[in-house]
Amino acid sequence: MRPGITLFKPLSRTARTAPAPQPAPPCRSSLIDCAAYIDGLRFDTDGLAEAIHLVRASKSDSAFVWVGLHSPEAEELEQLAEVFGLHPLAVEDAVHAHQRPKLERYDDVLFVVLKTVRYIEHEELTSTSEVIETGEVMAFLGPDFVVTVRHGDHCDLRPVRQRLERSPDLLKMGPAAVLHAISDHVVDDYLTVSDAMQTELEDVEATVFADMRSSDIGRIYQLKRELIEMKRAVAPLTAPLRQLTIRRLVPSDMRDYFRDVEDHLVRVREQIDSSNELCNSILQATLAQSNAIANEDMRKISAWVAIIAVPTMVAGIYGMNFDHMPETKWTFGYPMVLGIMIVACALLYRGFRRNGWL
């Protein structure tokens, strides 16, 4: 670690050569994994207290404890807060979840919130289909510890931990390496979901323009709602990642790694914006098609009404039963009137056909 980095700079080891083990929180189902990492290597222990003792008794500048939790209860997180000195406000946010992506610093502890997304597979997209599922990953990072809290049934962090354990050189960077690996994993999921949404939108677009009378407005609105939901998860993360790349919150050696994650996030945002614009265009085209179809139907109805109006008018006149009606006493009067009505209707039909009304 370089001098001047206070957040992830190891605490003085002289005062912690043999600290008394602190009581560990009770083991519950929310505890996914807990291990000590020293010089890039994992050391399994019998509990959290032993892991903390091992890390703080070591002389390595890169030693830290990583505790992984899934939807913990308030009691368990509060006990961890006493062990690591976590701020009550950050602990409250981690328990209740439903937070916006953010980056906050409390003394020498960094609190990060990341929104996670997952694409839900479905056979057919309907106006009520749920396409995107969201969750959260929160991380407390101190000089010699990392506490990750995951809410939701997706974005498992075990693959992230395993991938880091296969890269000891990266693990030597300390808690900053863990934060990078988690954020990189979350943003990669953004890319996957964004690509799936783009494919879904292209399928809807092809359906809309292939069948002019298809009614896909409900599907389009549903996709637009899901795109807005994803944008709410992705857009606020830009500022926290930018802070990690330009401010002295992480070691300078890690800033290039976070800058790479930021580049991926920019790509996701651009793809979401383009998908949203395409969705708006498809929606406007669908509405225009619906109006055009409605106008075409109205023209057809009006044309048939005009054609039927001619025999209706003639029949209405002759149905008045006056004594002095034209040709009422003539043998061929009735056929002549029928012929006039037929010829008039045929001429009107031909005219409407030429104008495209029928």
CATH number at residue 322: 1.20.58
Residues 78 and 197 in one domain: yes
Highest averaged pLDDT of the listed ranges 23-27, 59-63, 146-150, 170-174: 146-150
Q: At what angle do helices 158-165 and 175-210 cross, to 10 degrees?
A: 130
Last residue of a domain, one of 266, 289, 312: 289
Mode of pairing for the β-strands spanning 64-70 and 145-151:
parallel
- Of residues 25 and 245, the one with the higher pLDDT is 245
Residue 42: which residues within 8 A CB-CB, separation 6 or more? 35, 36, 165
Last residue of a domain, one of 241, 264, 289: 289
Quote the CA–CA distance of 167 and 175 in Å, as a whole number. 14
Residue 3 placed within a domain: no
Residues 285 and 300 in one domain: no
Length of the chain in terms of residues written: 358
Indicate the Cα dihedral angle 4, 183, 263, 172, nearest 10°: 40
- Residue % of the chain over a pLDDT of 90: 21
Whether residue 294 contacts residue 288, with contact meaning beta carbons closer than 8 Å, is answered with no
pLDDT band at residue 344 under the 50/70/90 scheme: confident
Residue 6 placed within a domain: no
CATH of the domain at 90: 3.30.460.20
Whether residue 132 contacts residue 230, with contact meaning beta carbons closer than 8 Å, is answered with yes
Quote the CA–CA distance of 256 and 250 in Å, as a whole number. 11
- DSSP class per residue in 291-358: HHHHHHHHHHHHHHHHHHHHHHHHHHHHTT--SS-TTSSSTTHHHHHHHHHHHHHHHHHHHHHHTT--
Whether residue 104 contacts residue 98, with contact meaning beta carbons closer than 8 Å, is answered with no
Q: Is the pLDDT of residue 291 over 80?
A: no
Q: Is the pLDDT of residue 125 over 70?
A: no
Quote the CA–CA distance of 121 and 116 in Å, as a whole number. 16
Q: Which helix (H) or strand (E) holds 110?
A: strand 109-119
Residue 7 placed within a domain: no
Residue 223 placed within a domain: yes
Residues 200 and 304 in one domain: no
Residues 96 and 207 in one domain: yes
- Of residues 35 and 299, the one with the higher pLDDT is 35
Q: Is the pLDDT of residue 140 over 90?
A: yes
Residues 123 and 147 in one domain: yes
Show the domain range for 244: 14-289
Last residue of a domain, one of 289, 312, 332: 289
Residue 47 placed within a domain: yes
- For the segment 133-145, the average pLDDT, to the nearest whole number, is 91
The count of structural domains within the chain is: 2
Residues 224 and 312 in one domain: no
Residues 285 and 302 in one domain: no
Query: Is the whole-model pTM more than 0.75?
Result: no
Quote the CA–CA distance of 187 and 175 in Å, as a whole number. 19
Quote the CA–CA distance of 224 and 255 in Å, as a whole number. 35
Given this model, what pLDDT does residue 138 score?
A: 93
Residue 327 placed within a domain: yes
Residues 171 and 315 in one domain: no
What letter does residue 23 receive in the DSSP assignment? P
Q: Kindly report the average pLDDT of the chain as a whole number.
A: 81
Structure tokens, 132: 């995107």
Residues 21 and 70 in one domain: yes
Residues 164 and 204 in one domain: yes
Quote the CA–CA distance of 158 and 281 in Å, as a whole number. 41
pLDDT tens by residue, 67-122: 999 988 888 888 889 999 899 999 998 988 788 899 999 888 999 999 999 888 77
Residue 123: which residues within 8 A CB-CB, separation 6 or more? none
Per the listing, tokens 């370089």 go with 2
The candidate with the shortest Cα–Cα distance to 245, out of 261, 260, 259, is 259
Quote the CA–CA distance of 42 and 60 in Å, as a whole number. 13
Give per-residue burial for 95-128: e unless 16+ CB within 10 Å, then b.
beeebebebebeeebbbbbbbbbbbeeeeebeee
Residues 231 and 167 in one domain: yes
Quote the CA–CA distance of 95 and 143 in Å, as a whole number. 22
Residue 314: which residues within 8 A CB-CB, separation 6 or more? 337, 340, 341
Residues 185 and 50 in one domain: yes
Q: How far apart are the first and last CA of the chain?
A: 80
